[in-house]
Amino acid sequence: MRPGGTPVPGGYGAAGGGGVRRLWRPEAPVDLGLVLGPLRRGPGDPTFRTTPDGSVWRATRTPAGPATLRVAVTPDGVDAEAWGPGADWVLDGLPALLGADDDPAAFVPRHRLVHASHRRRPGLRLTRTGLVLESLIPTVLEQKVTSDEAYRSWRRLVCRHGEPAPGPGGLYVMPSARAWALIPSWEWHRAGVDLKRSDTIVRAARVAARLEEAAAMELPQAAARLEAVPGIGPWTSAETLQRSNGAPDAVTTGDLHLPGIIGYALTGNRDADDEVMLELLAPYAGQRHRAARLILLAGRTPPRRAPRMYRSDISRI
């Protein structure tokens, strides 16, 4: 068992509808929205859903096969139910997914705003999926386009080239590495994905096994493994490893908005660049991603003064 929780005596039990169930008792509060929110790619993500009762549903492709996972916080702990060939795999990884491998005690707030944001969110933990490709591909889709464009591309590609997820929920599992590599050029075009991003995804899919090894590596080695693929740079590797590895120091550089947000939140400097941002985050070495996340959650952003990023849709060309 991973540290941070106690499984139900006797391990897993059968659930209704052919699922497998597990009750996990974390040692600290768990906020499902904060922990699992970064895995959702837009409100229409076909692999992720929240329901009115507070449950989170997630479809994923594990080394053992596709799986659907439902997670809910109850007075007794975290109740999880899974379906599909990968059900046992996702239940084994449940503590890590909900931040049991994360060590928030290592974080010391150095700014008043960060301290207040940290105090208000005791349930924040950094998720660790242990799966690289499922975070890498949607991150590549988000390169140099608006979030709405990337989400639309992800939704179309998963629904057309993935498969219905096992069990209830009506979700989809993303395509396998082989299926990503075999998507024809016209399908990328119809999904609004330019040649540079589609080529990067195909290259990554062809070396998927090597990339998945990065989930067990330390941050510098993991980033180097990902960035060895042409088209994957520091921005993409950081955004991926924040999710797959739960890397607390994987700070995102090369982002259009993040430096200005952090600069404005901490010093009032809305024109901060990566260099200034990294100087501001230097006191949080080892925990810079967590610090940046708390700053974003604080909601102190500079007033808009320029038009939004231009939206293009190459599928119409």
pLDDT tens, residue by residue, 78-101 = 999 999 999 999 999 999 999 999
Q: Residue 47 pLDDT more than 50?
A: yes
What is the pLDDT, as a whole number, of residue 18?
Answer: 74
pLDDT bin (cut points 50, 70, 90) of residue 6 is very low
pLDDT tens, residue by residue, 10-19 = 345 655 567 9
Report how far residue 100's alpha carbon sits from residue 62's, in angstroms, rounded to the nearest whole number: 19
What is the pLDDT, as a whole number, of residue 315?
Answer: 65
Percent share of the chain, pLDDT over 90: 88
Report how far residue 193's alpha carbon sits from residue 313's, in angstroms, rounded to the nearest whole number: 9
pTM value is 0.91
Backbone angles phi, psi at 141, to 5 degrees: -60, -25
pLDDT tens, residue by residue, 94-124 = 999 999 999 999 999 999 999 999 999 999 9
Listed in sequence order, the residues at least 6 apart from 315 whose beta carbon sits closer than 8 Å to its beta carbon are 189, 190, 191, 192
14 or 44: which carries more pLDDT confidence?
Answer: 44
Q: Residue 308 pLDDT more than 80?
A: no
Are 126 and 251 spatial neighbours (Cβ–Cβ below 8 Å)? no
Mean pLDDT of 255-266: 97
Q: Residue 59 pLDDT more than 80?
A: yes
- To the nearest 10°, report the CA torsion of 5, 11, 16, 17: 100
Tell me how far the alpha carbon of residue 219 is from its chain's centroid: 16
pLDDT tens, residue by residue, 211-235 = 999 999 999 999 999 999 999 999 9
pLDDT bin (cut points 50, 70, 90) of residue 314 is low
Backbone angles phi, psi at 264, to 5 degrees: -70, -45
Q: Residue 249 pLDDT more than 80?
A: yes
pLDDT bin (cut points 50, 70, 90) of residue 304 is confident
